[in-house]
């Protein structure tokens, strides 16, 4: 809301609230040992990418541009594998192979897919869900690529929405 009202109104009550929020995100939040801003165990990367998206939008509005963009880019680098593990299916080193996603874990057509087959089969999912951001690690950077662990391996539209926005911002900023 602070970003939207800062764009629409530009009043100091909104812009001040926005910069206080982003500054508190950067300076006062908990981080994992490897540098991921950590709000919650469930979908930890979703939260980090949402915060990075907000930081990028605040930078676009002219607030602490270098600081906010650098911080957001650091969060993106974590997601893409700066610590030795990518959290994006089909991308980078040591990428997830077992996202909690039914259609990617079902066998090749025309075989039927039952819940027990999709959940209990061993090995990588038969279908690579390219570009999907998984839930992510715990507060100590621990991550297990296990499709039955939906807390760390679930993929969802809200996980990927801000992630795509942060990637787009990184590309746009690199072209400027």
Residues labelled as active-site residues: 100, 145, 154
CA distance 83 to 143: 12
Could you write out the three-class secondary structure of the chain? Answer: CHHHHHHHCCCHHHHHHHHHHHHHHHHHCCECCCCCECCCCCCHHHHHHHHHHHHHHHHHCCCCHHHHHHHHHHHHHHHHCCCCCCCECCCCCCCCCCCECHHHHCCCCCCCCCHHHHHHCCCCCCCCCCCCECCCCCCCCCCCCCCCCHHHHECCHHHHHHHHHHHHHHHHHHHC
Cβ atoms of 136 and 143 within 8 Å: the answer is yes
Backbone angles phi, psi at 31, to 5 degrees: -125, 150
């Amino acid at each position: 809301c602070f970003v939207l009202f800062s764009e629409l109104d530009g009043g100091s009550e909104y812009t001040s609230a926005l910069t206080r929020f982003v500054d508190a995100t950067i300076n006062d939040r908990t981080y994992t040992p490897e540098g991921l801003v950590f709000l919650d165990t469930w979908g930890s990367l979703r939260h980090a990418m949402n915060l990075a998206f907000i930081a990028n939008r605040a930078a676009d509005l002219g607030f602490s541009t270098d600081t906010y963009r650098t911080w957001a880019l650091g969060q993106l680098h974590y997601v893409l594998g700066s610590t030795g593990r990518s959290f994006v299916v089909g991308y980078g080193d040591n990428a997830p192979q077992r996202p909690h996603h039914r259609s990617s874990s079902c066998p090749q057509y025309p075989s039927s897919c039952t819940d027990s087959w999709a959940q209990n089969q061993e090995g990588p999912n038969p279908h690579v869900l390219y570009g999907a951001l998984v839930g992510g690690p715990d507060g100590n950077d621990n991550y297990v690529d296990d499709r039955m662990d939906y807390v760390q391996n679930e993929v969802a539209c809200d996980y990927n929405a801000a992630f795509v926005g942060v990637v787009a911002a990184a590309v746009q900023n690199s072209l400027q």
